[in-house]
């Protein structure tokens, strides 16, 4: 938990001050199962012409099960609200405000400690007060990781 203060020397509309941080907790349900919950409020630089920063507030729930020494199953769900702030002039109408709900399910195979293969699916929806920024998504992902 912290306090952030940003000041713009010319455009005071882009100033921000407030609490930010992340709290998380892990629960080891068994030797093979871990549950994790987190909540957060963070500030992020905006790469948009109508905002200089975003306030992201959300939470996640994650579960991990080590099915065997080499196979792990993971599931997570998360919600995030993003408010676009710090506009000098609102050129497109209302201040943008997005809500995103997403989840994923994945399987990790680690044949040796230095290598892992992931396969998973992800889905979600973003609702915005500006319709052109709303969407739903579905994805399948595959990744390979080697540690040296």
pLDDT recorded at residue 90: 59
pLDDT at 109: 97
Structure-block tokens of residue 31: 């030797």
What Cα–Cα distance (Å) separates residue 49 from each residue in 45, 87, 94, 109?
Answer: 12, 8, 14, 43
> Over 7-50, what HEC string results?
CCCCCHHHCEEEEEEEEEEEEECCCCEEEEEEEEEEEEEEEECC
Query: Quick one: which of 82, 76, 88, 95 has its CA closest to 52?
Result: 88
> How much is the pLDDT for 123?
98
pLDDT at 52: 82
Q: pLDDT 10s per residue in the chain (148 long)?
A: 888 888 777 777 777 888 899 999 999 999 999 999 999 999 888 877 778 889 999 999 999 999 999 999 999 999 999 998 877 665 657 788 999 999 999 999 999 999 999 999 999 999 999 999 999 999 999 999 999 9
Give the per-residue pLDDT at 45.
Answer: 83
Distance CA 84, CA 93 (A): 12
pLDDT, position 89 = 64
């Amino acid at each position: 938990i912290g306090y952030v203060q940003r000041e713009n020397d010319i455009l005071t509309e882009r100033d921000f001050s407030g609490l930010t941080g992340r709290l998380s907790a892990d629960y080891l349900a068994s030797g093979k199962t871990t549950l994790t919950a987190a909540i957060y409020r963070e500030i992020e630089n905006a790469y948009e012409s109508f905002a200089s920063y975003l306030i992201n507030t959300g939470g996640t729930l994650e579960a991990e099960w080590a099915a065997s020494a080499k196979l792990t199953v993971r599931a997570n769900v998360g919600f995030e609200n993003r408010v676009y702030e710090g506009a000098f002039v609102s050129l497109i109408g209302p201040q943008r405000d997005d809500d995103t709900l997403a989840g994923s399910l994945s399987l990790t195979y680690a044949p040796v400690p230095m290598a892992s293969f992931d396969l998973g699916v992800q889905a979600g929806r973003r609702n915005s007060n500006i319709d052109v920024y709303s969407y739903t998504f579905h994805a399948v992902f595959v990744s390979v990781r080697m540690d040296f």
